[in-house]
Amino acid sequence: MLVWLLRAAAADGLVNEEVKRTVDLSTHLAKISAEILLANQGGSPVQSFTLALEPELGPHLAYVGASVKGEEEEDESLELKETAVHGRSGTFFQVQLPSALAAGGKLRVKVETVLTHVLRPFPSHITQAERQLVVFQGNHYLYSPYPTRSQSTRVRLASKTVESYTKLGNPSKNDEVIEYGPFKDVAPFSQDTMKIHYENNAPFLTISSITRTIEVSHWGNIAVEETIDLRHTGAYLKGPFSRYDYQRQSDSGISSVKSFKTILPASAQDVYYRDEIGNISTSHLQVLEDSVEVEVRPRFPLFGGWKTHYIIGYNLPSYEYLYTLGDQYALKMRLIDHVYDDQVIDHMTVKVILPEGARNVHLDTPYVIDRSPDQLHYTYLDTFGRPVLVATKNNLVEQHIQDMVVHYTFNKILMLQEPLLVVGAFYILFFTVIIYVRLDFSITKDPAAEVRMKVASITEQVLTLVNKRLGLYRQMDEVVNRYKQSRDTGALNSGRKTLEAEHRTLTNDIAALQARLKAEGSDLAEKVGEIQKLDGQVKELVNQSCQESERLVAGKVKKETYITSEKTLAGKRQELISRIDSLLDAL
């Protein structure tokens, strides 16, 4: 059986000449990197080779990448494709080599894998004062379909304190590093459990779900909002949480998480950090040269098993991320962004909200991601909705912070739609108000009110006319005065004539209005008649004073008599005018 297998593997003729593995367990992730010297011992050139992962670790795999270690110290990343190997369990990837590996040739390949949730807290419940211990279970050997000539494994831990570790091949332990090997001539697919139980107080934070919403506006803004569910996945806190100990003793709750740093793009503005009940006031923001750093401090420290939920959002100027050529647009942004160092995201949803009217949407992602059906999003001044791209992916780590590109076409005329909508709405509003004010919408006619209004308008006219007429008398007074000084009879006569003429027209007008008042059946007509009558008397008095002054000028009366008669006349006139006034008031 083994021989057959060996033959099957050796069909490629590939051999792992030398393997240097590094297992980094200093955080809550297991980062396993291996430098493999591949040798083609077969007879034909090889285009690709196969990477394998133990069946136990397969579900925990978040990221795997391979690169060629070039001569010029330049790494060239290789393309990976998931594949299956007949008769073997585990996860397999076919790695395409940049150029065929000739028979007898050698190539140095670097393989990097990141595994999440492989460090199991043990004990699973600890008190506040205790330190967190975790167990890692892995493989001493490189799990590979090819035979390995020589390999060594170096394990980096989070602390010196190690409870136990498997002692295959008598490993050496030096502070935080355990060195295994070298192991010679290991068969393909060989497994031997490596178990390390050690202290790890690194923040065991896991983002159980994140929803990243990117809203693109063609008015120059891209709004990003991340809704995050965060959980401490280390050992559960057992028993009480004492604030006193936490405040006074530095090693109390050492595995708990007080705060962490989120790095936002350098152009991020208007950053907000909140949850369902408002701002989280414990955060700090620092604007650096090449980034904006938010010190995210949850409302309460996160102990094992505790969780929190928050929203962080910011605005970006669109010119940095949105590229355009005519009607063609391309949005190039990070699919997922940094939340904290060594982040683990169990479940991610990305939503890209494009402007209303975007068509021919096409999404380019750096890695495979599940697209959900597109949605529509309605917000300010939308009529037919904005297209929303929805994509999900599970189990992501820092290595997944890569750019995606969204291509779409957008007719620039549509930019005018929203301003026009506002203009139109205001136009309709004002138009309605104008219509409402100008037209009569009462369902019943009120004849009495109409008559009242008519009468009111007529009386107003009467008032102005009467006032004007009274004004005429004053003008006449002036004329008379001037005449008394200049003794110009001509001026007096012409003044008198104009008075007569204007007075007549005014009186006629008033009479006409009076007739109309009468026609409306208003009793005000009588009052107007009375005014007319009084006015006649006033007119007479004016004429009299005019004659008196003529006589004075002609020397027919003495000055004293003139003054007394003038006085009586004026007195009478005043009396009449005041009576007219009171009548006017009564109108």
Q: How many CB atoms lie within 10 A of CB 158?
A: 19
Please identify, using beta-carbon distances, which residue of 164 and 249 lies nearer to another protein: 249
Amino acid at 49: F
Binding status of residue 307 toward another protein by CB under 8 A: yes
Q: Applying CB under 8 A, which part among 176-184, 280-288, 493-501, 521-529 lies near another protein?
A: 280-288
- Interaction with another protein in 480-499: which residues (CB under 8 A)? 481, 484
Binding status of residue 582 toward another protein by CB under 8 A: yes
What do you get for the CA distance between the two ends of the chain, in Å?
A: 125
Q: Applying CB under 8 A, which part among 119-127, 131-139, 142-150, 468-476 lies near another protein?
A: 468-476
What is the pattern of x (binds another protein, CB under 8 A) and - over residues 359-398? -------------------xxxxx----------------
Binding status of residue 474 toward another protein by CB under 8 A: yes
Rounded Cα–Cα distance for residues 335 and 371 (Å): 13
Please identify, using beta-carbon distances, which residue of 484 and 551 lies nearer to another protein: 484
Binding status of residue 526 toward another protein by CB under 8 A: no
Among 70, 239, 419, 424, binds another protein (CB under 8 A): 239
Among 100, 414, 433, 456, binds another protein (CB under 8 A): 456
Rounded to a whole number of angstroms, the minimum distance from the CB of residue 251 to another protein is 17
Binding status of residue 577 toward another protein by CB under 8 A: yes
Cis ω for the linkage preceding 123 (within 30 of 0): yes
Q: Applying CB under 8 A, which part among 46-54, 129-137, 197-205, 477-485 lies near another protein?
A: 477-485
Rounded to a whole number of angstroms, the minimum distance from the CB of residue 307 to another protein is 5
DSSP string, 239-291: S---HHHHHH-TTTTTTSB--EEEEE-TT-EEEEEEETTEE-TT-EEEE-SS-
Binding status of residue 573 toward another protein by CB under 8 A: yes
Rounded Cα–Cα distance for residues 75 and 161 (Å): 35
Among 276, 289, 290, 523, binds another protein (CB under 8 A): 276
Rounded to a whole number of angstroms, the minimum distance from the CB of residue 359 to another protein is 20
* Helix and strand numbers, DSSP H then E, in the chain: 7, 32
Nearest Cα neighbor of 25 from 200, 256, 263 is 200
State the DSSP H helix or E strand holding residue 516, giving kind and residue range, or none if neither: helix 489-520
Please identify, using beta-carbon distances, which residue of 170 and 281 lies nearer to another protein: 281
Rounded Cα–Cα distance for residues 134 and 291 (Å): 34
Binding status of residue 427 toward another protein by CB under 8 A: no
Rounded to a whole number of angstroms, the minimum distance from the CB of residue 586 to another protein is 6
State the DSSP H helix or E strand holding residue 586, giving kind and residue range, or none if neither: helix 559-586
Residue the block writes with tokens 């295994």? 180
Tally of CA atoms within 13 A in the half-sphere of 126 that contains its CB:
24
Residue the block writes with tokens 């965060």? 230
Structural tokens at position 409: 């076409």
Cis ω for the linkage preceding 355 (within 30 of 0): no
Binding status of residue 279 toward another protein by CB under 8 A: yes
Structural tokens at position 90: 């585990």
Binding status of residue 578 toward another protein by CB under 8 A: yes
Distance of CA 325 to the CA centre of its chain: 26
Q: Applying CB under 8 A, which part among 15-23, 82-90, 100-108, 571-579 lies near another protein?
A: 571-579
Rounded to a whole number of angstroms, the minimum distance from the CB of residue 221 to another protein is 16
Rounded Cα–Cα distance for residues 424 and 381 (Å): 12
Question: Could you tell me the sign of the dihedral formed by the alpha carbons of 525, 527, 531, 532, in that order?
Answer: positive
Binding status of residue 441 toward another protein by CB under 8 A: no
Rounded to a whole number of angstroms, the minimum distance from the CB of residue 293 to another protein is 20
Nearest Cα neighbor of 181 from 172, 194, 190 is 172
Cis ω for the linkage preceding 317 (within 30 of 0): no
Please identify, using beta-carbon distances, which residue of 178 and 224 lies nearer to another protein: 224
Please tell me the count of residues contacting another protein according to CB under 8 A.
Answer: 53
Rounded Cα–Cα distance for residues 287 and 289 (Å): 7
Binding status of residue 240 toward another protein by CB under 8 A: yes
Structural tokens at position 313: 């959002």
Please identify, using beta-carbon distances, which residue of 179 and 418 lies nearer to another protein: 418
Among 47, 104, 193, 300, binds another protein (CB under 8 A): 300
| CA angle 236–241–243, rounded 5-degree value | 140
Rounded to a whole number of angstroms, the minimum distance from the CB of residue 310 to another protein is 10
Rounded Cα–Cα distance for residues 577 and 471 (Å): 11
Among 85, 187, 401, 470, binds another protein (CB under 8 A): 470
Q: Applying CB under 8 A, which part among 35-43, 175-183, 272-280, 324-332 lies near another protein?
A: 272-280
- Interaction with another protein in 531-570: which residues (CB under 8 A)? 563, 566-567, 570
Structural tokens at position 316: 């970006």
Among 76, 79, 163, 460, binds another protein (CB under 8 A): 460
Binding status of residue 505 toward another protein by CB under 8 A: no
Rounded Cα–Cα distance for residues 153 and 182 (Å): 8
Among 199, 477, 509, 530, binds another protein (CB under 8 A): 477
Rounded to a whole number of angstroms, the minimum distance from the CB of residue 582 to another protein is 6
Please identify, using beta-carbon distances, which residue of 53 and 354 lies nearer to another protein: 354
Q: What Å distances lie between residue 170 and 165, 181, 198, 208, CA to CA?
A: 11, 8, 18, 39
DSSP state for residue 400 in the 8-state scheme: G
- Interaction with another protein in 162-221: which residues (CB under 8 A)? none
Tally of CA atoms within 13 A in the half-sphere of 534 that contains its CB:
22
Binding status of residue 120 toward another protein by CB under 8 A: no
Binding status of residue 467 toward another protein by CB under 8 A: yes
Structural tokens at position 162: 């190690």
Binding status of residue 290 toward another protein by CB under 8 A: no
- Which residues are at the interface with another protein (CB under 8 A)? 239-244, 248, 275-282, 299-300, 305-309, 378-382, 437, 452, 456, 460, 463, 467, 470-471, 474, 477, 481, 484, 563, 566-567, 570-571, 573-574, 577-578, 581-582, 584-586
